[in-house]
Amino acid sequence: MSRHLPVAGSLAEPLHAVGARFDTPDALIAAVRSIRAAGYNAVDCYTPYPIHGLAEELKAPKSLISFLVLGGAVTAIALALTMQLVPSSLIYPLVVGGKPVNFSGLPQYVPITVALTLMLGALAAVKGMILLGGMPRLNHPMLAWDLFAKDASRGFFLAVSARDPNFTLEKVTELLETSGAGDITAIHLEPSDDE
C-alpha cells in the first residue's frame, strides 16, 4: 500500500480488485481502452445503463444467449410436433373436420408449434440472461466497497481484478490515475461469517 490507496473490505482478506469511478461514459471507455492495451484482461465495468461500444472495448465474447434461444426454439418445435402428431396421427388417428391426419394436415399443427416456439425461445432468453449473468447470488465482492454499494447508479465504475496474471497494484493504480479516474480503491474481500 505504498500509495495509501483507500481500502474497502478487510485488509486481512485477499485483494479482490482495484475499483475506480468515472464521471462520464466516454472517460470509462477511454480508460477501458488504455487498460486493455496495457495487457489486462480481467476488467469489468458497472454502469447505470447500457453503453454503446463498451462491450466491444471490453472484448466481451459473443453472448451464448442466441444459442440458448435457438436451442429453446428447436426443442419447442420438436416437442410441439411430437405431442400433436404422435397422438392424433399415429397412436389414435382422429379425423376432425375432415382434415387429413397425415403430413398434409400439417397446417392445423402450426399455430401451437409457433406459440410453443415463441414461449420456449423467450423463456430461454430471459432465464439464460439471468443465469449467464450469474444471477441468483447473495453477495458480490464489489459490494464491500461502500461508495459502489450505495451509489452504483451515480457513476461509471471499473474494476481490474487481482486475478489477472499481469496484475500489480502499483501499475494498475498508475494507469487508472492517468486515465482520470476518481475514487480509486483497493477492494478486499470481506471476512466470511462462517465461523
Partner 1 sequence: MSDETTHLPPAETFDYKHVGGRFIGLCVTAIVTLLISLVLGIGNPQQFAFSWLFAGWFFVTILIGSLFWVIVHHATDAAWSVGIRRQLENISCQLPLLALLLLPLLFVAPKVWTWMAESPTHNHELAEKAAYLNVDFFWIRTAVYFLLFGIVALLFRRNSLAQDQDGAAIHSIRNRRIAFFIIPFGAIALTFWSFDWMMGLNIRFVSTIFGIYNFAGAVLAALCVIILLANALRSAGYLKRVLTAQHNFAFGKLLLAFTLFWGWIAFVQYMLIWYANIPEETSFYVLRSTGSWKVLGILLVVGHFIIPFCLLLFRGPKANARFLGVVAFWILTMHLLDVYMLVLPVLHPEGFQPAVLDVVALLAIGSTLGAFFLKGLGDSPLWPSRDPRLAEAVNFND
Residues that bind partner 1 (CB under 8 A): 52-53, 66, 97-99, 107-108, 110-111, 114
Nearer to partner 1, 111 or 182 (CB): 111
Q: Which helix (H) or strand (E) holds 173?
A: helix 169-178
- Least spacing, CB of residue 108 vs partner 1, in Å: 6
Nearer to partner 1, 67 or 191 (CB): 67
Quickly tell me which residue has 505504498 as its cell.
Answer: 2
DSSP β-bridge partners for residue 131 = none
- Least spacing, CB of residue 15 vs partner 1, in Å: 36
- Least spacing, CB of residue 17 vs partner 1, in Å: 29
How distant is the alpha carbon of residue 132 from its chain centre?
A: 5
Phi, psi angles (nearest 5°) of residue 121: -60, -45
The full 3-state SS of 62-111, as one line of letters, equals: CCCHHHHHHHHHHHHHHHHHHHHHHHHHHHCCCCCCCCCCCHHHHHHHHH
- Least spacing, CB of residue 119 vs partner 1, in Å: 16
Nearer to partner 1, 114 or 130 (CB): 114
Nearer to partner 1, 12 or 96 (CB): 96
